[in-house]
Structure 1
Amino acid sequence: MNQLISAIKVKNLSFYYNTQKIFQNVSMDIYQGKVTAIIGPSGCGKSTFVKCLNRMIELEGKVRVEGGVEFFNQNIYERRVNLTRLRRQVSIVLPKPNLFPMSVYDNVAYGVKILGWHPKAELDRIVESAIKDADLWEEVKNKLHKSALDLSGGQQQRLCIARALAVKPQVILMDEPCFALDPIARIKVEGLIQRLRLRSELTMVIISHNLQQVQRLSDFTALFYTNENRIGEMIEFGTTNKIFTNPLDSRTRDYISYHLN
């Protein structure tokens, strides 16, 4: 196996909404070019944890973190961190499509325009490339200047992925990317993630309650659980194969056995 490089290193991370602790003492490495899955029961802090990785969580009110998150050895919680740059480098796709009420083209171009001016021809190329990378081009190439909200749910989710890809992130965070999609749309999104896995430079973190999907898509898996005080903790982390076939913690074994059967 090639030497693993940490794209994101989480060190003893704890998180609070106001004074309520949501999760505590999470430490893990998210490896460059790999897919890491976050699994666990509802309410254990998975989505909150993922939003801490690019500080999107700070948009949700009065929050506090303890510990650290390093993105290629830079502490993202230092005061001087440029949040616009961080959120371009570590992009996020939410469970439900969060498209803007504008055209397909303008949705994909939105983040690119924020980063700086591009000639029209270059912007066209970036948009087309991102939509192709999201395996959506043939379906929308004649609808680029129509409302993105007219697309189907599955198409909208892939357009959100295209929008994320357009700004050339190093990491993409996906929180339940197949949430509420019909089986055909889910297969298309999964196939897209499988193709993105082939990019050695792209790192992905995926939250999923579908353990068969986790087995198909991920290289590493972390299991979050709540303790007796209803505070989330990461109880086990390792290769997906090891987590599913030879877990160290009985709670991991029970959770996987229950959700696979």
Structure 2
Amino acid sequence: MNKLVPAIRVKNFSFYYDTQKILEGVSLDIYQSKVTAIIGPSGCGKSTFLKSLNRMNELDTEIRVEGRVEFFNQNIYERRINLNRLRRQVSIVLSKPNLFPMSVYDNVAYGVKIIGWRPKVEIDGIVESALKDADLWDELKNKLHKSALDLSGGQQQRLCIARALAVKPKVILMDEPCFGLDPIASMKVESLIQSLRSRSDITIVIVSHNLSQVTRVSDFTAFFHLNENRVGELVEFGVTKKIFTNPLHSRTREYVITRIN
């Protein structure tokens, strides 16, 4: 087995919205070129944890953190961190597609253009490559200048993934990427995650309530739960197969047995 290299290291991390404590003492490594799933009951801080990995939470309200989140050895909560650069390198795909009211082409090219000027022919190539990586090129190559909002829900979600891929991130965060999608659309998104899983240049962290999906797409799984103070904590982290077949903690075992489908 190849040596596991952490892309993100979380060390004794606690998170507060204003004065409300959401997460307490989380420590785990998210390994490069692997898919890590975050599971647990509703309200245990899974999405909050995911968004803390590229500081997206700060767009919502005042936050406070303790501990460290290191992205390739740099603490992302240092004052000098360039947030725009961080969020390009650690992109996020939300549970509901958040496309811009513009064309398919312009949605994919948006982040690339913000980074800096490039010749149109180069941007054309980036858009095509990103759509191919998201398994959308054949479906949309003749609709590049149509509104992205006219696409189906599944296509919109894969277009969000294409937009993330276009800026060449090192990590992609996915918060319930199949939420609200029909089984066929969900299968296409899942197949896309499987395809990205085989690449050495992409690390994926996914929050999901679909435990069957987690067993199919992830290499590692982190189980979160509320502690006695109703604050989210990491109960167990390990290889996905072990988490689902031989967990160390009774709370993990109970959750997996009752929720697997």
Q: TM-score, normalised by structure 1?
A: 0.99
Q: Distance in 2 between the 1:127 and 1:35 partners?
A: 24
Match of 1:68 in 2: 68
The reply on whether 1:230 has 2:230 as its aligned counterpart is yes
Letter in 1 for 2:16: Y
Q: Distance in 1 between the 2:79 and 2:23 partners?
A: 23
- Output one character per residue of 1:133-189: Cα deviation in whole Å (capped at 9) or x when no partner: 000111111111111000000000000000000000000000001000000000100
Could you say what secondary structure the match of 1:233 adopts?
A: strand
Could you say what secondary structure the match of 2:4 adopts?
A: coil
Match of 1:202 in 2: 202
Q: Distance in 2 between the 1:116 and 1:222 partners?
A: 37
Letter in 1 for 2:214: V
Match of 1:57 in 2: 57
Shift, 1:64, TM fit: 0.8
Letter in 1 for 2:149: L
Letter in 2 for 1:215: T
Letter in 1 for 2:31: Y
Please report the RMSD computed on the Cα atoms of aligned residues, expressed in angstroms: 0.6
Shift, 1:11, TM fit: 0.4
Q: Matched residues, percent identical?
A: 77
Q: Distance in 2 between the 1:63 and 1:105 partners?
A: 35
Shift, 1:24, TM fit: 0.5
The reply on whether 1:135 has 2:142 as its aligned counterpart is no
Match of 1:34 in 2: 34
Shift, 1:227, TM fit: 1.2
Q: Distance in 1 between the 2:12 and 2:113 partners?
A: 36
Shift, 1:200, TM fit: 1.3
Could you say what secondary structure the match of 1:33 adopts?
A: coil
1:41-190 mapped onto 2 (5 Å cutoff)? 41-190=41-190
Could you say what secondary structure the match of 1:106 adopts?
A: helix
Shift, 1:81, TM fit: 0.6
1:231-246 mapped onto 2 (5 Å cutoff)? 231-246=231-246
- Point out the more displaced range, 24-33 or 137-146: 137-146
Letter in 2 for 1:27: S
Match of 1:12 in 2: 12
- Output one character per residue of 1:97-118: Cα deviation in whole Å (capped at 9) or x when no partner: 0000111000000000111001
Q: Distance in 2 between the 1:165 and 1:260 partners?
A: 31
Q: Distance in 2 between the 1:201 and 1:120 partners?
A: 25
Letter in 2 for 1:219: D
Letter in 1 for 2:247: P
The reply on whether 1:252 has 2:252 as its aligned counterpart is yes
Q: Distance in 1 between the 2:100 and 2:134 partners?
A: 18
Which runs of no fewer than 5 residues in structure 1 stay unpaired? none
Letter in 1 for 2:57: I
Q: Distance in 1 between the 2:69 and 2:39 partners?
A: 20
Letter in 2 for 1:28: L
Shift, 1:201, TM fit: 1.8
- Point out the more displaced range, 158-167 or 198-207: 198-207
- Output one character per residue of 1:180-215: Cα deviation in whole Å (capped at 9) or x when no partner: 000000010000010001101210000000000000
Q: Distance in 2 between the 1:130 and 1:201 partners?
A: 14
Q: TM-score, normalised by structure 2?
A: 0.99
Shift, 1:233, TM fit: 0.4
Runs ≥4 in structure 1, deviation > 6 angstroms? none
Could you say what secondary structure the match of 1:49 adopts?
A: helix
Could you say what secondary structure the match of 1:37 adopts?
A: strand
Letter in 1 for 2:101: P
Q: Distance in 2 between the 1:180 and 1:69 partners?
A: 31
